[in-house]
Structure 1
Amino acid sequence: MCGISGYISKSHKFDLKALKAINKKLNHRGPDEEGYFVHQNVGLGHKRLSIIDLQSGQQPMKNDTEDLVITYNGELYNYKNIRQTLISKGVLFKTTSDTEVILKAYEYYGNNCVKHFRGMFAFAILNITKQELFMARDHLGIKPLVYYNDIDTFAWASEISALRETTDFKADIDYYAIDQYLKFQYIPAPRSIYRKVKKLMPGHFMVVGFDGTVKNIKKYWDLKFSPKRKTKQQWLNKLEHSLKTSVAMHTLSDVEFGAFLSGGIDSTLIVKYMTEYLGSGIRTYTIGFKDSQVNETHFAEQVVARYETDHTSVTLDGDALEILPLLVKHYGEPFGDFSAIPTFYVSELASKDVKMVLSGDGADEAFAGYGHYPLWLKKINRHQPNNVFKNNIVASLYPLANKLYPKRYPKLAKPTDKLSNYLRYRSRMDDRSREQLWQAPYKFLIDLHDEIEFLYGEDYREQSEFSRSQYFDIKVFMPSDILTKVDIASMINSLEVRTPITDKTLFELAATIPSELLLKQKNGRWQGKHLLKQLLVKDFDKAFIERKKQGFEIPLEQWLFTGTNFEAIKKRFQAPNGILRQLFEPLVLQQLLDEKNGFKVWLLLVLDEWFMQNG
């Protein structure tokens, strides 16, 4: 795993020291090596964490004619197949690295090279002959790529915090992005906390001229839901084969590696297939927290016993305020998913032994594992007219409801075809709560048209009612929350995390599985990931398989609202010159403290800490 950076000086005053300053902020992503390449007003920087081809994978890497230069972050799991295909077409290689495969694939296929890749990647290629920069991000958004565009500079990097080192960086705050953060607990791509910083969206590439002009931003891949009819056993066979193949591909490494093991269905499947492929003794890592109401470590112990792993487990006291400054520093913008805390700690634990781990992220999105999927379907069905007469009356009210009461009475709006209604359903802080929270000058933010509706609304409507909720979570929630959380929390510890389930081919397969095989009702309760669970029935008992899904919970309220921590939080919320009092209503802030609303208090704490570090 690596960190990449670079910039184009539009004024043709390139400064290598400035590039090195940007790159230095990525030290944790690549502590093994660093490299630079400069051509006139354009430069590339690279930080390397060596996982494959330890001796000959140095970057930036040039092609034979030295008119193409690449820096790359990620792993290309089908690079050997692509390499053989290119060799058969007469292409010559000097190394065995996947970096050179990407470079030669671009040289041969041009911009369409990304359509051949299977893996996680973010890369930048300088095409000196064409005088342009080609950048791309993987299909599902596993690896990040952000860029800054101003009158004098076009810069890019793996992390937002690195871009702040750009010469004359203009830190103009995007307050609409803050409202999105309060709504979702993260800032959805392509926005960031800064007006001039954008995130390249998953499944997209962009072309920038050496003069800094953005020539093209194009989507090269999208997920299409198209259920196919097969027997349950046929699906199980196909799914197991695909999972085994993906896990095997993701274990390709020249260094020691292991796996995160929460004890849940997803991480258990990863360990199961790692063991089948590599044998017993896989290194696994689990953490728990004292006083946590949810603790799955006993399930992890069952997995350890079943597959005979080399297991490390620790139980931590934890302190949200203690870890807060470090997390805020590296996420680079407000990021409110508090499961970043356990993700950081389990990454820290694993990094003491290995440089790479596998995890089970992506299964909930691909195979409908979240509890909100059946709840959303229930909500939709409650709104469905059950006769023609009712249908005509209700249908006639939809336009009026949308026009007169789009925010106050969302239940009156048609829920089945508008992404905006699902966005309300998935919001962590609803419109009314945010309107009460913001001070008067900022309340207008609530009524701005949701950018996500503009970006994804049409594609959302093309999906089936069941698939629509999955589509949003895969395109927006997963890359901007789940994958961002894992990437940053692990990279702080110089640990590469690979996600065999978050794989283009597996997601394309999952999109063809009928909904009745994803969700099943048992004992009056809907359960997701039905097929995945069936793959474990021979190894574990009913209690293990059919338990209710648990998130990676921490005792947040206890950490925040006891002892000296609560006093410190009160001081932040009540500071007369603090950012919280500048933006939000003091009475509402006090009400959140009085109610001891852990989630909302955490969101505002993260925001306050970010402004303290960057304001």
Structure 2
Amino acid sequence: MCGIAGYISATHQHELQTIVQKMQDSLYHRGPDGAGSWKTSNSKLMFAMRRLAIIDIDNGHQPFINENKDLILVANGEIYNFIELREKLIQRGHVFKSKSDCEVILHLYEEKGIDCLHDLRGMFAFALFDARKGIAYLARDRMGEKPLYIFQDKEEIIFSSELKSLLKSGKIPLLLDEKAIYWYFHYGYVPDPLSPIRNIRKLPAGSVLSININDWKITEKKWWNIEDAPAIDGNPALKIREVLNEISQLVVRSDVPVGIALSGGLDSSLVAALIAKESPGSLTAFSVGYEGRPPCDERDDARFLAKHLNIPFQEVELNEDEMSANFLKLASYRDDPIADIASWGYYQVMLAAKQNDISVMYQGQGADELFWGYPWLKETAKENHLRLKKFNTSPISNDEIDTIYPYFMDKFPFFHDGNKIPYTSRFKNKIKELGASADPREPYKIKFPWENIDIMTTKMICDTYLRQNGIAQSDRLSMASSVELRLPLIDYRLVETAIGLRKTQSDLNLPPKAWLREAVQDLLPQTVMNRPKKGFSPPTHSWQKQLFKTWGHLLEDGLLTQHGILNSEGAKDLAKGEQPLNSVIPASFKALILETWLRAMTKELT
């Protein structure tokens, strides 16, 4: 697990070393165990990285360079099937310098070129330079677990694992992208491939960018799509259990102690059971709770399961005053603006793990998105089935034909302010004109004819909310404490299994997570299997009230008004911290998160 950065230019760059060094230094928290870099003799290209040692602690240093010194690799992530790949490569004559998981990428490339991506199972983002061809590749894993931000202009590409690292380069002005900010006020995050900063984008998940530094030809392609999973026949529970067993055997590979973020729910519980079964005696559970033990406190439930699995248990009680005092720091750790009040809990459980000398953590994220864990997600799919049926019997508008999910945002609880009024109308007197004509439904527009609505619904939630709210903050807030986070339930083989099964049968009208529950029913006590879903949520109203009491004044004539995002009157109104009834993420909280994020990014320029 690491942080990577680099500079690729069509021309000689005198300050190449200085620029990349600044970015590398900014990534220290992602890799405190070592650093490495490499550059071409003509100063057109330089790669750098920071290392968090997880596999082959003593010898897995990067960059990896082949015997002929014409292939160079820096990689962030874990290749879970590296042992199997390594054994086959050795049989074919490849000589390894280490036992690192990421070194297999280099040798696979020697055999298959960039098509080697299809052999990799894990989470990764990497940069590889083929000096023979003069081509650099930037690639990202299938589900987008590992981040890769890219700045691109006519004659240069700068990339890094984090947004603030790019700003540290000194080459990129802090100009807000109006479309991205507008969408942020709808979603509470910025959907891929946009970033909040103009001319910086995220390489889409399952994509690879190739840059020929000789003729400066740049191409990008998707090498994996969730909807392309092959159809699967058979018993869903048996198929899912088979792949879960396989995943658990792969993800336990580590040369350092491991732990799990354990709530009282099904998802983290089944991950704990799988890991404990595969690697007994090596796992520690960590759970967060809240002062006064409100109903959302799940420590007792988590402790029960830990005792059942014979796992050591550590609890972390979150203090409201401490959360508020560290709010500005958290804005920097998140790297992207993500308006999720639960961020403090994510950060604290990872910090507690590191303080207990644990550098690898597991989390149960992804099952809700894959197996209909959210009621509003099921409702969205069902209503679109009705729309499709309507289309088959009577004409509908062009807008309905183009937009498969107009109901998605109506059902999605984070989109509205509690009064069921979209921000496009409610806040146009507070938000200045900043590209508001950009349709916020754009990420959900799919041309007719629609294939499989259930599959496309899953694709949309994975491409948006899961990746940009869940996965993104999990990565940043674990790496802020130099902890690697593994998410077994979004392993691509499990994803493809769920999608493949839906191509032959439907689970939409079954109870939530029916296939998954049946697959793991023998692993967990019935009290866990039958426990109602709570969600990882703190005392939201109280926390937001405290935050605005302490930090609300930052919105008044703050950076958002200086950058032309809010007008003065609107900023003062939002600074009051209003929380409309039934609002999950009020516009005031989104504005405060964005303001503190912008202040954190501005500091990176100094």
Same fold (TM over 0.5): yes
Matched, 1:428 2:418: no
What is residue 59 of structure 1 aligned with on the other side?
62
More moved, 138-147 vs 469-478: 469-478
What is residue 367 of structure 2 aligned with on the other side?
363
Instruction: Give the Å deviation of 1:491.
Output: 0.1
**Which of 441, 451, 472 is 1:484 aligned to?**
472
> Which whole-Å CA distance do the structure 2 matches of 1:558 and 1:420 have between them?
33
| Structure 1 unaligned spans of 5+ | 403-412, 522-526
More moved, 423-432 vs 364-373: 423-432
- 1:190–1:198: 8 Å Cα contact kept in structure 2? yes
Relative to structure 1, is the Cα distance of residues 465 and 59 closer, same or farther in structure 2, using a 3 angstrom cutoff?
Answer: same
> Which whole-Å CA distance do the structure 2 matches of 1:281 and 1:130 have between them?
45
What is residue 508 of structure 1 aligned with on the other side?
496
Matched, 1:437 2:437: no
More moved, 508-517 vs 258-267: 508-517
- 1:229–1:514: 8 Å Cα contact kept in structure 2? no
What is residue 279 of structure 2 aligned with on the other side?
278
What is residue 119 of structure 1 aligned with on the other side?
122
What is residue 457 of structure 1 aligned with on the other side?
446
Structure 2: which amino acid aligns with 1:310?
Answer: P
Matched, 1:551 2:535: yes
Matched, 1:161 2:164: yes
SS in 2 for 1:446: coil
**Which of 527, 535, 550 is 1:568 aligned to?**
550
More moved, 199-208 vs 550-559: 550-559
Structure 1: which amino acid aligns with 2:225?
Answer: D
What is residue 593 of structure 2 aligned with on the other side?
606
> Which whole-Å CA distance do the structure 2 matches of 1:446 and 1:378 have between them?
30
More moved, 378-387 vs 326-335: 378-387
What is residue 398 of structure 1 aligned with on the other side?
397
| Structure 2 unaligned spans of 5+ | none
Structure 1: which amino acid aligns with 2:486?
Answer: R
Relative to structure 1, is the Cα distance of residues 577 and 219 closer, same or farther in structure 2, using a 3 angstrom cutoff?
Answer: closer
What is residue 218 of structure 1 aligned with on the other side?
221
What is residue 405 of structure 1 aligned with on the other side?
none
> Which whole-Å CA distance do the structure 1 matches of 2:216 and 2:379 have between them?
46
Structure 2: which amino acid aligns with 1:433?
Answer: Y
> Which whole-Å CA distance do the structure 2 matches of 1:136 and 1:371 have between them?
34
Instruction: Give the Å deviation of 1:502.
Output: 1.2
Relative to structure 1, is the Cα distance of residues 538 and 102 closer, same or farther in structure 2, using a 3 angstrom cutoff?
Answer: closer
Q: How does 1:201-600 map to 2 (within 5 A)?
A: 201-210=204-213, 213=216, 215-224=218-227, 228-230=232-234, 234-280=235-281, 282-291=283-292, 292-319=294-321, 320-353=323-356, 354-380=358-384, 391-392=393-394, 395=395, 397-399=396-398, 402=399, 413=400, 418-423=404-409, 425-426=411-412, 428-430=414-416, 432-439=422-429, 442-443=432-433, 445-450=435-440, 452-453=442-443, 457-458=446-447, 462-514=450-502, 518-519=507-508, 527-538=511-522, 540=524, 542-562=526-546, 565-573=547-555, 575-576=556-557, 579-580=560-561, 582-584=564-566, 586=569, 590=573, 593=576, 595-597=578-580, 599-600=585-586
Instruction: Give the Å deviation of 1:332.
Output: 2.8
Instruction: Give the Å deviation of 1:188.
Output: 1.0
**Which of 68, 71, 79 is 1:68 aligned to?**
71
SS in 1 for 2:338: coil
Instruction: Give the Å deviation of 1:427.
Output: 7.2
Deviations 1:553-580 (A, max 9, x none): 0112212224xx443344234x245525
More moved, 86-95 vs 1-10: 86-95
Deviations 1:431-462 (A, max 9, x none): 732333234884463332458448x725x964
SS in 2 for 1:599: coil
Deviations 1:401-454 (A, max 9, x none): x4xxxxxxxxxx469x62455356447335732333234884463332458448
What is residue 7 of structure 1 aligned with on the other side?
7
Instruction: Give the Å deviation of 1:17.
Output: 2.1
Instruction: Give the Å deviation of 1:89.
Output: 3.1
Q: How does 1:11-30 map to 2 (within 5 A)?
A: 11-15=11-15, 16-30=17-31
Deviations 1:260-286 (A, max 9, x none): 111211111111111221224621111
> Which whole-Å CA distance do the structure 1 matches of 2:215 and 2:598 have between them?
30
Instruction: Give the Å deviation of 1:343.
Output: 0.7
Structure 1: which amino acid aligns with 2:277?
Answer: E
Deviations 1:166-223 (A, max 9, x none): 2332222101100111111111111111121111111000111226935111100111
> Which whole-Å CA distance do the structure 2 matches of 1:387 and 1:79 have between them?
48
User: RMSD in angstroms over aligned alpha carbons?
Assistant: 2.8
- 2:148–2:203: 8 Å Cα contact kept in structure 1? yes
How does the TM-score come out when normalised to structure 1?
0.88
SS in 1 for 2:255: coil
Relative to structure 1, is the Cα distance of residues 441 and 340 closer, same or farther in structure 2, using a 3 angstrom cutoff?
Answer: closer
> Which whole-Å CA distance do the structure 1 matches of 2:334 and 2:217 have between them?
26
- 1:418–1:461: 8 Å Cα contact kept in structure 2? no
Instruction: Give the Å deviation of 1:84.
Output: 2.6
- 1:154–1:212: 8 Å Cα contact kept in structure 2? no
What is residue 408 of structure 1 aligned with on the other side?
none
How does the TM-score come out when normalised to structure 2?
0.89
SS in 1 for 2:488: coil
- 1:72–1:122: 8 Å Cα contact kept in structure 2? yes
> Which whole-Å CA distance do the structure 2 matches of 1:608 and 1:588 have between them?
10
Instruction: Give the Å deviation of 1:517.
Output: 6.7
- 2:180–2:195: 8 Å Cα contact kept in structure 1? yes
> Which whole-Å CA distance do the structure 1 matches of 2:378 and 2:411 have between them?
13
Structure 2: which amino acid aligns with 1:457?
Answer: I
Structure 2: which amino acid aligns with 1:602?
Answer: F
Aligned residues: 584
- 2:143–2:492: 8 Å Cα contact kept in structure 1? yes
More moved, 147-156 vs 209-218: 209-218
Instruction: Give the Å deviation of 1:333.
Output: 3.1
> Which whole-Å CA distance do the structure 2 matches of 1:492 and 1:426 have between them?
29
> Which whole-Å CA distance do the structure 1 matches of 2:383 and 2:571 have between them?
30
- 1:135–1:205: 8 Å Cα contact kept in structure 2? yes
SS in 2 for 1:511: helix
Relative to structure 1, is the Cα distance of residues 12 and 176 closer, same or farther in structure 2, using a 3 angstrom cutoff?
Answer: same
> Which whole-Å CA distance do the structure 1 matches of 2:208 and 2:156 have between them?
19
More moved, 595-604 vs 20-29: 595-604
> Which whole-Å CA distance do the structure 2 matches of 1:154 and 1:81 have between them?
34
Structure 1: which amino acid aligns with 2:397?
Answer: Y
